[in-house]
Chains A and B, each alone.
Chain A
């Protein structure tokens, strides 16, 4: 679990670092559990169909969608933190670190606008679904507001991360580690640290 170095250096920020560590852990564990649940539900549906047709469930794929979309929206926050989003950085690479810093801060502001929109309008979508008591058209009649809530939740989590990112670029900018060209964390194989044997 990584704590940004500038947080470790300043004692006053240790509490923040602690919160950030727990936040990371909570997101990753929750997503892990959701992913495992999706896998298990699908397996139960397939095995059920061929082994115990009487007990078979039919709603697996529908529920997997709800679970997986929630998982995606939660882990999106981690993608912002580790800078793992896909983006063309060809132009950025050509810029000096000082200029990159300003472009990245501009990017953060635009991203904050969009993720705030996800939160705000997503919330309205949820409200409408509750008001109209919308359910899925399948046998399950799943209340759709639960599924829709993933959108504002993802927006809120990413918004938080982009605010932190903006602050990092504005206050704690370090040209050594925060410019592009360092392979983002998700592409560095963890296997390198632990060789496949």
Chain B
């Protein structure tokens, strides 16, 4: 149980947030959004951190689920309990497809990145083009469709907290099983992993499918929670970039990196908000500074600090990837 002390601690802290911020709708929304991004970052950690698949279409995967769930609910008068799983399935299917095709065609990191980026743009244009369903740029209202819980701040918060915990649980399950070893092997050297009998295709597609499902679930629920779905809700700059920064900030391939990173990024955004247009600094500068200094991210750094202070005799936070980090120059 010692191993999960960190998750328990974080869960406790997160669960108590409404007690502190419950009175302010603004801060509740901020906190809830942070939870959404944390789940998305966990997913990205699986896809990019552990299996080196540079998916630059997180917004499209989350958005596909989101739009599908809302549009089906509106058009076919179906309950969100039906449409959300459909959205999740679609996202998972797409993610798995991209992963499968890229392994099949032997696409390297950048090629997959470009292909998924293209998909992201296609998604954006599809949404704008299919205006009879999506109402184009203006978007659709996603209230009153039968998901009343997501229309109240505090219940919403706990729903998304549950989603995050589920995502972390799935992550932990994967990493501590055979899959975790496979991920480590193939992210180190794919050819050797393949030659050692590891079915690289299966594990990559698995990671992509699971991650995309998480992206889709968060995305679909977020679509209802937000009250409006429009292209700007699921934009590349609004999702992929912050998630990337959050993962790098928190620490790739660590268990709690996504959580810490997302919180740190949210704080950064709040700090820069008063500067208006210059908030690009939040995107530009951290990217540059991060990758030149804190290569490993905050979680390993924190782990090292705590280790130095002799507060932990056990392995530091995010222990699964201790060896992985060592190999990073």
Q: Do A and B associate with each other?
A: no
Taking Cβ atoms with an 8 Å cutoff, the residues of B that contact A are none
